[in-house]
Amino acid sequence: MNGLIQMNLFELTCQELAVELRRRYGKGSYHAAAIFRHLYHELDADVSRAPSVAAAPHLAARLARDLHIACGRVVLEKEQAGVVKFVTRLEDGAQIESVVLPMVHHRTVCVSSQVGCRMGCRFCETGKNGLARNLEVAEIVGQVYAARKRFGPELRNVVFMGMGEPFDNYDNVLKAIDVINDQRGLDIALRRITVSTAGLAEGIRKFAAAGPPLIKLAISLNASNDRLRSELMPINRSLPLDKLKTLLRSYPLKKKYYFLFAYVQIPGVNDQPEHAVQLAHYLEQLPSKVNLIPFNPGPNSPYRAPSEKESERFRDLLIRRRVNIQQRSTRGRELMAACGQLGSTAYSQ
C-alpha cells in the first residue's frame, strides 16, 4: 500500500472520483468519466479495462491496487409472477432485500435504505426488530447496480420503498441518488426516482428545500384518522395527519406532479366505509394518487391479507369517493414486494 486508503468505487460520485484521481495520480475528470462509464454503463467492475485506463498500464495497476467495490453480495434471488426479490448479504453479515417489479414498458427496483427501521409500524416486518444501522451509499447503489446487471436498460425506475425510512438516512440516500442519476453511469432520470417516507417532518422539509425537485415524493399513509394511524404508525404521534397535510400543502410540488400515498389495506382495520370517506376528505386539495396495496402477512403477523373481494370492495368505495387510486396487482404477494412488507428474512440471518 502507498499509505492511501482503498477507495470503494460505489461510494463515490463522479466528481469525487475525479478529485481522488487528481490527488493520487495527477489524473482528473477525463479518467473519472471513463471509469464511471465502464463501471456503470458497460457494467464491468474491472475498471482497468476501461479504454483510457487500459492504455496506461501503470495507472491500471495502481487502480487495481487502490480501488475496490464493497456493497455486499446477492445471496438469494427468488421469482414469482415476474416479481424478483434479491437478498443481499452485506460485508458485516446483515441482510437486506430489494425487489424488481415488472411494469408495462420497464422495470422498477424497490430498494432498501436501512438495515431494519426504527419507525415501528405495526404491520411491518422490517420494523419488528428496530434499526440495526443505516446503509452506506455503496450498499444502496449496489442494489440498483445488481438489478441493472440482471435486467439491463429496461430497469429504469427506482423507488425507495424497501427496508427502512429513507429520510432517516437522508445524506446517504441523496448521495446514492446522485450516483445512480449520473448520465455517464446508470443514468436513471430523477423523475424516475421516488422516495417514500412514513412522515419524517424534518426530512420532508429538508427535501423540499434542497432536494432535487424532479424526484417524486411518496407518503406511507395507511390510515385515514389519527387514532388509527398512531396505532399503526407511531410516527403519527409526532406528525399528526393535519400537520402532515399542512406540510405537504407547502411542499414545492412541480407542475403535473402529485404525491403518491401508499395505503396498505388491512382487512377489518383500515378498509371500512368510514375510512374511505375520511381518506377522500383528507386528500382534498392535495394532488394525489393512492397506491392501494393488499396487506401481505409475514410470520406471526397480527393481521391477515384481504381477499380479492375485500380488495375490490374497498377500491370501489374509494373510486365512488373520487379518490384517484392506482391499485397494485397482488403479483408478488408471496415475495412481499411492498413498502413495509420486506425484511422477514433479513438481518437476523
Catalytic site includes residue 165: no
Q: Which is nearer to ligand SF4, 185 or 343 (CB)?
A: 343
DSSP annotation of 195: E
Query: Does residue 198 belong to the site contacting ligand SF4 (CB under 6 A)?
Result: yes
Query: Does residue 53 belong to the site contacting ligand SF4 (CB under 6 A)?
Result: no
**Shortest Cβ 179–ligand SF4 spacing (Å):** 22
User: Considering only residues 124, 174, 260, 317, which one is a binding residue for ligand SF4 as defined by CB under 6 A?
Assistant: 124
**Shortest Cβ 132–ligand SF4 spacing (Å):** 12
**Shortest Cβ 134–ligand SF4 spacing (Å):** 13
What is the x/- site pattern for ligand SF4, positions 315-344, by CB under 6 A?
A: ------------------------xx----
Catalytic site includes residue 334: no
Q: Rounded to an integer, what distance in angstroms lies between the CA atom of residue 177 and that of residue 141? A: 8
Q: Which is nearer to ligand SF4, 211 or 340 (CB)?
A: 340
**Shortest Cβ 340–ligand SF4 spacing (Å):** 3
Q: Which is nearer to ligand SF4, 169 or 181 (CB)?
A: 169
Query: Does residue 21 belong to the site contacting ligand SF4 (CB under 6 A)?
Result: no
Cβ atoms 258, 299 nearer than 8 A: no
**Shortest Cβ 272–ligand SF4 spacing (Å):** 21
Query: Does residue 121 belong to the site contacting ligand SF4 (CB under 6 A)?
Result: yes
DSSP annotation of 296: -
Cβ atoms 56, 62 nearer than 8 A: no
Query: Does residue 119 belong to the site contacting ligand SF4 (CB under 6 A)?
Result: yes
Query: Does residue 188 belong to the site contacting ligand SF4 (CB under 6 A)?
Result: no
Q: How many binding residues for ligand SF4 (CB under 6 A)?
A: 14
Cβ atoms 267, 153 nearer than 8 A: no
With DSSP H G I counted as helix, E B as strand and the rest as coil, what are the percentages for the chain, rounded to 5? 40, 20, 40
Helix 29-36 / helix 14-25 crossing angle, nearest 10 deg: 130
Q: Which is nearer to ligand SF4, 72 or 116 (CB)?
A: 116
* Mode of pairing for the β-strands spanning 95-102 and 83-89: antiparallel
47 beta partners = none
Query: Does residue 126 belong to the site contacting ligand SF4 (CB under 6 A)?
Result: yes
Q: Find where cell 416479481 sits.
A: 83
Catalytic residue of the set 11, 20, 97, 165: 97
- Amino acid 27 reads K
- Amino acid 322 reads R
Catalytic residue of the set 14, 121, 124, 339: 339
Query: Does residue 127 belong to the site contacting ligand SF4 (CB under 6 A)?
Result: yes
Q: Find where cell 396487482 sits.
A: 329
What is the x/- site pattern for ligand SF4, positions 138-167, by CB under 6 A?
A: -------------------------xxx--
Q: Which is nearer to ligand SF4, 17 or 342 (CB)?
A: 342
Q: Rounded to an integer, what distance in angstroms lies between the CA atom of residue 341 and that of residue 128? A: 11
- Amino acid 219 reads I
Residue 259: φ, ψ to 5°: -85, 135
Cβ atoms 101, 110 nearer than 8 A: yes
Q: Which of 82, 79, 139, 76 is nearest to 112 (CA)?
A: 139
Please state, as a whole number, how many other Cβ atoms lie within 10 Å of the Cβ of residue 16: 15
Query: Does residue 220 belong to the site contacting ligand SF4 (CB under 6 A)?
Result: yes
Q: Which of residues 99-118 bind ligand SF4 (CB under 6 A)?
A: 117
Give the active site residues. Answer: 97, 339
Interacting residues with ligand SF4 (CB under 6 A): 117, 119-121, 124, 126-127, 163-165, 198, 220, 339-340
